[in-house]
């Protein structure tokens, strides 16, 4: 058969019996399907089925008791988040490891959730 010799002639395949044509088309279809044909870059994207981490919800679950809904309550020595000058990375550090009377959350929340809370607290800052 010509394919084994490194040559490919579509006409010779099409002149074969209907059974061979069917097998050829099925094999070609399977090959194309197996190769993918996707134009995605390989970088995973969030889909509708992948929920985004909700920093506000996590804040209201763990932080509101001391910091208050608006970040300005200051109970138990909690800092006023509305006037905090900490950067995002500094906030992540404090939430992760705690500071003074603040509980460390590194064993309770994932890095992704800690980042989401830190990003949310930036929104509480008064301008």
Give CA angle at 37 (14, 17), nearest 5°. Answer: 15
Which pLDDT belongs to residue 96?
98
- Report pLDDT digits (tens) over 52-61: 899 999 999 9
Helix, strand, or coil here: 35? helix
Total structural domains within the chain: 2
Domain membership of residue 7 (yes or no) is yes
CATH number at residue 69: 1.10.760.10
Range of the domain at 89: 55-123
Same domain, 26 and 59: no
State whether 76 and 114 are in the same domain.
yes
Quote the CA–CA distance of 42 and 6 in Å, as a whole number.
32
Q: Is the pLDDT of residue 15 over 70?
A: no
On whether both 119 and 66 belong to a single domain, the answer is yes
Residue 126: is its pLDDT beyond 50?
yes
Q: 87 with 115, same domain?
A: yes
Say how far apart CA 26 and CA 29 lie, in whole Å.
5
Q: pTM of the full predicted structure?
A: 0.60
């Amino acid at each position: 058969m010509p394919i084994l010799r490194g040559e490919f002639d579509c006409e010779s395949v099409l002149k074969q019996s209907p059974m061979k044509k069917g097998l050829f088309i099925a094999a070609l279809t399977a090959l194309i399907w197996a190769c993918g044909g996707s134009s995605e870059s390989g970088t995973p994207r969030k889909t509708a089925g992948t929920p985004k981490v909700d920093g506000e919800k996590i804040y209201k679950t763990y932080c509101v008791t001391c910091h208050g809904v608006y970040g300005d309550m200051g109970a138990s020595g909690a800092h006023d988040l509305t006037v905090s000058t900490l950067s995002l990375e500094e906030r992540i550090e404090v939430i992760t490891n705690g500071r003074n009377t603040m509980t460390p959350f590194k064993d309770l929340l994932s890095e992704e959730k800690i980042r989401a809370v830190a990003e949310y607290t930036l929104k509480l800052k008064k301008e």
